[in-house]
Structure formats: structure tokens, C-alpha cells
Amino acid sequence: IGNVLSTSLLNFVSQSTFTQRINAARNDRDARLVSRWYGISTGLFIMLGVGAIGICATVLAPDASGDATVVAVLNQMPPVVGAFYFAAVIAALLTTANSMALSSSVTFTRDILPKLTKKKFSDKQMLIIAKAFIIVDVVLCYFAVKLNNQVLTWIFINYAIQGSLAVAIYGGLLSKRATKLSGILAIIGGAGVVIVWEVLKLTKVVTGPAANIHSLMLGLPLAFLGFVIGFASKKKSTPQQLHVVDCFRNMEEYVEPVAVEE
């Protein structure tokens, strides 16, 4: 259930993928239609697909876990079908690693570094820094994989971390009571708790029945709690930010307001 939930939410927080679907539509009507059916069809496919794998694994290899579960299922498949399935796993690994390395380097280069150094970098400098960050990122990933070499485990951990951001993203797009503090607390309660819980499980600090609790089952409730607590912040949303909420609620194209009275 946790893996189904995290994989489903991933499709909604992956803004680039979702936006591509909408922008490929011919008009507003088709864009609204595809956004609804994309969510429904993807959710059903994930539930059926992940559920089927899980049920088959419990029958074929009840003692298997992690990558061993998939291997047990693959061993029962015809070679051609197994090859396609294995290719899908490799594709998921490569696309996930690639997008995470690029996203983290862009975030560090454009958002974190300028605020830390209080300097403005040229495009050429930012490109060099981004490439250097990716190298460091890959080295850190290598040591992480040495800690646990189950590939699918890392993929689903990544999905859980991204899925936990749904509260912060869509809460901010739907609620006019949301504040900056709401977003920060939602990220800490969601992604922060997911990361801490997964690290505790990987390092065997958490074992036994507690280790079977999916990190997203802890992250989502705490993200929602943090989001609501943020309502108490005295620094409220600006009229421009509330305008974004109105556009999202009404499924209208966002247009920068010329003048918004305070």
C-alpha cells in the first residue's frame, strides 16, 4: 500500500511530466480531460501492477525481500517477458538517478549557493559548479549503495520522498490559509521524516515489526500536521500568491497581475 501510494503521488508532484501531458493537448477542454484521466488511469495501473507483483511474490517466494522479490517473480516468467520487465527496472533506475542528479545540482547551484555566498554567478560559472556537484553527488550515491545494494529499495525510497511533497505542493496551490511556514513544516514533516525513518531502517536501528511500517505512512500525516500548524504564522500569503491559488482552483491560465491592491 505504501509503495502504491508513493508511486501514485510521484506522478502528481513530478510537475515536468504532468505539465507535458497538459501542454500536449489541443485546447483547454482536452487539457482538463487529460489531467483527470491521467490521474485515474495512472493510479489504477500502479495499484494493479504493484499489487500483482506483491501478491505473486508472496506466493512464489514468501521469504524474499527487496530485489530478491523481483528476481523470484522474474524466474517464473517466460524469458521474453522477463527481458521486458528487466528492461523496465533498468529504465526506472537510470531515469530516476539521472533526474535526481540534475535536479539536485540545479537546486544547489541556483537556489542554495547564491543565498549562502550572497554572490551572483555567471552562466558559465554555474554550469561548472553544477557539473562538480553532480560528481560529488554520484560519489555520495556510491557510498549509499554500498550501505544497501538493493536497487529497487532505493527507487522506492526516492518515490516515497517525492510523494511526501504532495502535501506542501498541492496544499499551497489549494489553500488560501497556507503560509511560508506551512510549506516548510510540511516538507520537514513529510520528506524529513521519510528520510530519517528510511535511514533508521537501513542502519538496523529500527528492526522487527516496526521496520515493516512504510515511511510514507508516517510522513504524510506529519506533513499534513505541519502544514496546518503553519496556518498560525503571522506572515500571511501575499495577494499575488493568492491569485495563483485562484487560477489553480479555477483551472485557469496564470497571468501575472498588472496591479494588485494590498
User: Does residue 237 contact residue 262 with C-beta atoms inside 8 Å?
Assistant: no
Per-residue pLDDT band for 197 (boundaries 50, 70, 90) equals very high
pLDDT at 107: 86
Closest among 3, 12, 2 to 171, alpha carbons compared: 12
User: Does residue 163 contact residue 7 with C-beta atoms inside 8 Å?
Assistant: yes
Contacts made by residues 144-151, CB under 8 angstroms, sequence distance 24+: 147/202, 147/203, 148/202, 150/66, 150/67, 151/67, 151/89, 151/93
Per-residue pLDDT band for 66 (boundaries 50, 70, 90) equals low
Does the pTM exceed 0.75? no
Lowest mean pLDDT among 45-49, 127-131, 201-205: 45-49
pLDDT at 223 > cutoff 90:
yes
pLDDT at 65: 67
pLDDT in tens, 145-178: 777 777 777 778 888 888 899 999 889 888 888 8
Give the pLDDT mean for 13-28. 75
- DSSP-assigned states of every residue in the chain: -HHHHHHHHHHHH-HHHHHHHHHTSSSHHHHHHHHHHHHHHHHHHHHHHHHHHHHHHHHH-TT--THHHHHHHHTTS-HHHHHHHHHHHHHHHHHHHHHHHHHHHHIIIIIIHHHHH-----HHHHHHHHHHHHHHHHHHHHHHHHH---HHHHHHHHHHHHHTTHHHHHHHHH-SS--HHHHHHHHIIIIIHHHHHHHHHHTTSS-GGGGGS-HHHHHHHHHHHHHHHGGG-SSPPPHHHHHHHHHHHTT------S----
pLDDT at 93 > cutoff 90:
no
pLDDT at 17: 67
